[in-house]
């Protein structure tokens, strides 16, 4: 069985444990084990922390990476922010011996060492590149027919493209292909690659701006006839889920487009019950989507 060190981050275990469960369970069904990383801290966040204190951001990220190195496993994540921090810190340290030595001079004080021996891989990449579309297609027991999905990649999943390695950040297809192999339709919509509104500290520092961006995105998805929005990122998931509840409270107009993580959507297609996938714990109701699938 292939195995990865699963870096949970903050939002997944604390706010959306259904993402954690669905990811572990779906990967298990494909013969991939996700092993917990004990003793990790926040990644820390790339936009807020990394922008203001690059040095401490780098040291903390290196410490997290060293835990996976001790496990002898590549790291996987369910948050684009964690993905950005861990992958970019790994890239910086692997390409700068002097910087690695400086980081290790501090890590040594807490009996840790960063070696640069592992990779950071998003769960979406594992599904696409390791498990494979054909294998996924063969395991689908409940095709998501007539389900129209608005795919949201999120900023940190795509850029910087020379480090991410997903091809063109202006024309990504990985998530769309994963959605469609489940029998659903990935719909095109206005400003598909626009931010969810939360990134870079905007949700915390400029909540009105964050909500306005979220409103534009959600309305574009609804205009395209989407039944749900699918994300590969726990933070984008939170912004679309909590953000719609906040928009409803603020505007008195009901925003209720179901928000589904990619492994939750895959779990539905594999026949896993929605309550175990955490879909019934969202602010946005999944009733219409689940009704369409006869759950």
DSSP the chain: -EEEEEE-TTHHHHH-HHHHHHHHHHHHHTTEEEEE-TT------TTHHHHH-HHHHHHHHHHHHHHHHHHT--EEES-HHHHHHHHHHHHHHHT-HHHHHHHHHHHGGGT--------EEEHHHIIIIII-HHHHHHH-SS--TT-EEEE---HHHH-SHHHH-SS-TTS--HHHHHHHHTT-EEPP-TTTTS--S-GGGHHHH-HHHHHHHHHHHHHHHHHTT-SEEEES-HHHHHHHHHHHHHHHHHHSS-----EEEHHHHHHHHTT--TTTTTGGGSSS--HHHHHHTT-
Model pLDDT, residue 101:
98
pLDDT confidence bin for 288, thresholds 50/70/90 = confident
Stretch 83-93: mean pLDDT, rounded? 97
Strands 148-151 and 228-231: parallel
In terms of Cβ atoms closer than 10 Å to its own Cβ (0-12, 13-18, 19+), residue 159 is middle
Cα angle, residue 199 at apex, residues 193 and 202 outer, rounded to 5°: 125
Exposed, middle or buried by CB within 10 Å (0-12, 13-18, 19+), for 38? exposed
For the chain, give every residue range classified as CATH 1.20.1050.140: 2-122
Contact 234, 157 (CB under 8 A): no
The mean predicted confidence, pLDDT, of the chain is 94
Least confident of 79-93, 151-165, 259-273: 151-165
Contact 260, 286 (CB under 8 A): yes
Q: Residue 199 pLDDT more than 90?
A: no
Q: Does the structure show a pLDDT above 90 at 38?
A: yes
Q: Between 51 and 64, name the one with better pLDDT.
A: 64
Q: Report the CATH fold assignment for 135-292.
A: Rossmann fold (3.40.50)
Q: Span 247-274, mean pLDDT? A: 95
Residue 248 predicted with pLDDT over 90: yes
Let me know if domain 2-122 sits in CATH 1.20.1050.140.
yes
At 49 the pLDDT is 78
Average of pLDDT values for 44-73?
Answer: 93
pLDDT per residue as tens digits for the range 126-180: 999 999 999 999 999 999 999 999 999 999 999 888 889 887 788 999 999 999 9
pLDDT over 70 for what percent of the chain?
100
**291 or 221, which is more confident:** 221
Average pLDDT on 18-46 reads: 96
User: Residue 35: CB partners within 8 Å, gap ≥ 6?
Assistant: 3, 4, 5, 6, 71, 73
Please tell me the least confidently modeled range out of 45-49, 137-141, 201-205, 285-289: 201-205
Q: Shortest CA distance to 66 belongs to which of 20, 7, 9, 13?
A: 7
Supply the pTM of this predicted model. Answer: 0.95
- Please, which pLDDT band fits residue 225 given cuts at 50, 70 and 90? very high
% of the chain exceeding 90 in pLDDT: 80
> Residue 133: CB partners within 8 Å, gap ≥ 6?
177, 178, 181
For 3-17, the pLDDT digits (tens) are 999 999 999 999 999
Q: How far is Cα 13 from Cα 180, in angstroms, rounded to an integer? A: 28
CA distance 217 to 77: 24
Residue 273 has pLDDT above 90, yes or no: yes
Query: Is the pLDDT confidence value at 186 over 80?
Result: yes
């Amino acid at each position: 069985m292939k195995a990865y060190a699963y870096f949970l981050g903050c939002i997944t275990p604390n706010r959306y444990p259904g993402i954690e469960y669905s990811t572990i369970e779906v990967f298990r069904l494909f013969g991939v084990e996700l092993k917990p990383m004990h003793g990790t801290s926040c990644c820390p966040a790339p936009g807020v922390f990394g922008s203001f204190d690059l040095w401490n951001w780098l040291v903390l990220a290196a410490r997290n990476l060293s835990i996976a190195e001790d496990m002898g496993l590549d790291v996987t994540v369910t948050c684009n922010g964690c993905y950005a921090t861990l992958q970019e810190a790994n890239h910086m340290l692997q390409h700068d011996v002097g910087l690695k030595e400086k980081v290790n001079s501090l890590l040594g004080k807490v009996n840790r060492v960063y070696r640069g021996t592992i990779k950071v891989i998003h769960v979406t990449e594992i599904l696409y590149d390791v498990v494979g579309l054909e294998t996924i297609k063969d395991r689908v027991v409940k095709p998501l027919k007539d389900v129209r999905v608005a795919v949201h990649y999120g900023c940190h999943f795509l850029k910087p493209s020379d480090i991410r390695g997903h091809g063109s950040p202006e024309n990504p297809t990985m998530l769309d292909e994963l959605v469609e192999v489940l029998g659903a339709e990935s719909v095109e919509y206005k400003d598909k690659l626009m931010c969810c509104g939360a990134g870079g500290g905007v949700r915390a520092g400029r909540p009105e701006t964050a909500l306005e961006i979220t409103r534009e995105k959600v309305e574009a998805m609804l205009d395209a006839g989407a039944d749900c929005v699918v994300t590969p990122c726990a933070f984008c998931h939170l912004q679309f889920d909590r953000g719609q509840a906040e928009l409803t409270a603020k505007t008195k107009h009901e925003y209720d487009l179901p928000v589904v993580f990619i492994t939750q959507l895959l779990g539905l297609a594999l026949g896993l019950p929605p309550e175990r996938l955490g879909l019934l714990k969202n602010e946005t109701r999944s009733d219409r989507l689940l009704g369409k699938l006869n759950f």
